[in-house]
Chains A and B, each alone.
Chain A
Amino acid sequence: MSVLVVAEHDNSEIAPATLNAVTAATQIGGDVAVLVAGSGSSAAAEAAAKIAGVSKVLHADAAEYANGLAENVAPLVVALASGYSHVLAPATSFGKNVMPRAAAMLDVQQISEISAVVDADTFVRPIYAGNAMATVKSSDSVKVITVRTTAFDAAAAEGGSAAVEAADAKGDAGLTSYVGAELSSSERPELTSAKIVISGGRGMQNGENFKMLEEVADKLGAAVGASRAAVDAGFVPNDYQVGQTGKVVAPELYVAVGISGAIQHLAGMKDSKVIVAINKDEEAPIFQVADYGLVADLFEAVPELSKALDG
């Protein structure tokens, strides 16, 4: 058995989600290789070589891989896949975009967002917004899999010393081109890997009021998230959304402020270790999953919380 992990990176650093996928790969067993497809991406390839448990890094460096376009990356994955029993990627927007394209080219039914490895052919994955867990077995010759990152610990970023091998680039498919991006920049930790997340919902009323949450977040070293309602209303950008159709998080502490607790929101945070809910409606469903519930007006409770954290 041998597993290829398709790395997510920005040409200089490896995205943390890749480390979770490496852990899933080591649980499957056999040698673990990492593919770094990028442009001017030697630093990322070297970083991948240091990940504990990785035995080889395949490095494809060419202009067509600069922005991770699926039309260009998928054929590369397909060309390399024959040497492996499994091909994995984190279930991030990058992995979700590239892997099904590669799977279809290989005539393989992908297994999306696995949350556990049972054996080399059998995996557990959440369905219906995590309200059911399906155990599925694949008989495809190559298994193409995306990994729910919150279900696997991160592999150590240092400690490995894999060899870096050059892989041949496959050219530009000429189907899509990259125009630009508007990325949220923040000094705060990344939402999906933060130890503490504080999220606001429709109860926050506007974007300005999110400053209250940011203040608390900065005192706790937390990331800030949101419900779909808060994103749809334009209080915060789309990349804040936690839930079935947003990001899945599982921090040590999740604080839900002015969020009712719809199934779709719970799907993205119910595996958090400790959940706190602040809501003025004592019947809100969020209290059914909260370890600590505070029935209060958030406009009083959040500033008080901020003050209490100074003490």
Chain B
Amino acid sequence: MKVLVPVKRVIDYNVKVRVKADQTGVELANVKMSMNPFDEISVEEAIRLKEAGTATEVVAVSLGVQQCQETIRTALAMGADRGIHVLHDGDLEPLAVAKMLKAVVEKEQPQLVILGKQAIDDDANQTGQMLAALLGWGQATFASKIEMGSGEAKVTREIDGGLETISVKLPAIVTTDLRLNEPRYASLPNIMKAKKKPIDQMTPADLGVDPAPRLQTLKVEEPAKREAGVKVADVAELVSKLRNEAKVI
């Protein structure tokens, strides 16, 4: 069974994001970029399926600028077998990403595609569900546990009220939540080995998809700033302020 893992290059989660002065977006120049943390979890899960003998090949795919190849290399260093890079310089929206991933899926014929539940830059939380819709496959989103069966997977999902378990027919889409696993660090020998693993490059046109955005971003602004308040000396002062000043208790 082949597993496809889409991995996205995003601003590192430790970076304090700054809005550009001209309000066209956020500052990306000279900012540390990393693999979307949820995608590290996806890669880890796929590699574990391979180590368990369930998966035979793990293919990492990234869409975007040339440097997305670094993100693919990270996946290869963790243990993915090969990479696919769809080169595109402009902004990509989830619908366009899903359409291109659909074309990749049709070529590669994986039984399972594991995506992150959301990318931490645009926080859209759409791509996996959209890909499932376009393929007519089942979707197990926000997964915290995956058990592979024959022809189906049993997936535990993190939902607002707690946990829910569904069974999804293969081939299927899974999107990962934080507690599915703890991703490994790539070892130095594996980082070296990853340099030799193949990455295929293609363009949206090769996949027959028009990647033009549908949404127009009119402006990007700083959110309203919150002022730091006061330090209170003790619990008695805290309770008195909450009762008499803030009047919230």
Contact = CB atoms under 8 A, between A and B. Distances in A.
B238 interface: yes
Tell me what chain A mostly uses at the interface: helix, strand, loop, or mixed. mixed
B189 interface: no
Contacts of B137: 175
14 contacts: A96-B129, A101-B129, A108-B95, A110-B130, A112-B125, A128-B11, A135-B221, A136-B216, A138-B215, A140-B214, A192-B160, A239-B160, A275-B229, A292-B230
B179 interface: yes
Contact-residue size bin, chain B (C-beta under 8 Å from the other chain): 35 or more
A10 to B, nearest CB: 9
B231 interface: yes
A205 B167 CA distance: 35
B235 A305 contact: yes
Interface in B161-191: 161-169, 172, 177-179
Given A104-B98, A133-B221, A109 B162 contact: no
Tell me if B's interface is mostly helix, strand, loop or mixed.
Answer: mixed
Contacts of A192: 160
Contact of A127 (B134, B163, B220): B220
Contacts of B43: none
Nearest to A231: B179
Interface string B134-175: 101111111010000000001001111111111111001000
A176 B130 contact: no
B55 to A, nearest CB: 21
A177 B126 CA distance: 21
B178 A74 contact: no
Q: What are the nearest 7 A-B pairs in CB distance?
A: A175-B138, A291-B229, A100-B129, A104-B130, A109-B214, A100-B126, A104-B133
Interface stretch (A29-37, A57-65, A80-88, A181-189): A181-189
Contacts, number: 261
A182 B213 contact: no
Interface of B: 11, 13, 16-17, 19, 26, 38, 93-95, 98, 117-118, 120-134, 136-142, 144, 154, 157-169, 172, 177-179, 213-223, 226, 228-232, 234-236, 238-239, 241-242, 246, 248-249
Contact of A139 (B127, B128, B214, B219): B214
B228 A289 contact: yes
A192 B241 CA distance: 25
Nearest to B37: A245
Contact of A305 (B134, B223, B238): B238
